Amino acid sequence: MSRPRDSCSLNVELKARLPDLAQARAVARRLATRPAQKLSQRDTYFHCDTGRFKLRQIDGEQAQLIWYQRASQQQATSSHYMLVEIPRPEGMMKLLAATLGIRAVVEKQREVYFYQNVRIHLDQVQSLGTFLEFEAVMEHADQVPQGHQQLDFLRRQFSIEDKDLLEGSYGEMLEQHGDQELS
């Protein structure tokens, strides 16, 4: 069963392995159109019949429930999502764990850079390695081609090769690979 997409936000995403964090950081700083942010995030993924569903705790202070739906493919793809701020994440965590069950817990250090309407994430993910994500935030579906063009431009700027492209979420990667480091 699919969710109504008219009530969701939309972005275009791309995820890749990051062989050189220092080099990527230099490129991100050169392209940044706003100040960068550094965040510690804990994403708890729950079982969900449609899309992916997680509770994101940020720096131990704020939290968000995030539901999103996108194809798992090794290329830029559209993603529909809903995000809700959560004032008391401990209670929400207990409720969701009891009702849905936990799939995976992802701990990461994230650097967020902004290039126009694109969020550039440089992620150091515990037990998985270092990754780069682009998220072009779209206001309307007719802007999706522009989002793809922006991600193509950024992919060239960061020298992302086809072999480095990834599909799926960090939670799914943890499920598939357990605690072994990806290379």
* Burial of 54 per CB tally in 10 Å (0-12, 13-18, 19+): buried
Mean local confidence (pLDDT), 90-105: 94
In a domain, 71, yes or no: yes
Do the beta carbons of residue 45 and residue 168 sit within 8 Å?
Answer: no
**Count of domains for the chain:** 1
Q: At what angle do helices 144-157 and 21-31 cross, to 10 degrees?
A: 130
Determine phi and psi for 146, rounding to 5 degrees.
Answer: -65, -40
Domain that holds residue 138: 5-177
In a domain, 182, yes or no: no
**Alpha-carbon gap, residue 44 to 29, rounded angstroms:** 30
Going by their DSSP bridges, the two strands 165-166 and 129-138 should be labelled as unpaired
**Model pLDDT, residue 4:** 46
In a domain, 183, yes or no: no
Minimal CA–CA distance to 122: which of 55, 12, 37? 37
Which residues are bridge partners to 20 per DSSP?
none
Condensed to tens digits (0 to 9), the pLDDT of residues 118-171 reads 999 999 999 999 999 999 988 877 888 898 899 999 999 999 999 999 987 888
Task: Dump strand ranges (E) for 71-164.
Answer: 77-85, 102-115, 118-125, 129-138
CATH number at residue 42: 2.40.320.10
Condensed to tens digits (0 to 9), the pLDDT of residues 30-74 reads 999 999 999 999 999 999 888 889 999 999 889 999 988 766 655
Assign 42 to helix, strand or coil: strand
For the chain, state the CA radius of gyration: 16
In a domain, 173, yes or no: yes
**105 residue type, one letter:** V
**83 residue type, one letter:** L
Determine phi and psi for 165, rounding to 5 degrees.
Answer: -70, 145
**Model pLDDT, residue 77:** 66
| 88: enclosing H helix or E strand | none
Residue 99 has pLDDT above 70, yes or no: yes
| Predicted model pTM | 0.84
Mean local confidence (pLDDT), 105-123: 96
In a domain, 99, yes or no: yes
In a domain, 43, yes or no: yes
Q: How far apart are the first and last CA of the chain?
A: 35
In a domain, 77, yes or no: yes
In a domain, 159, yes or no: yes
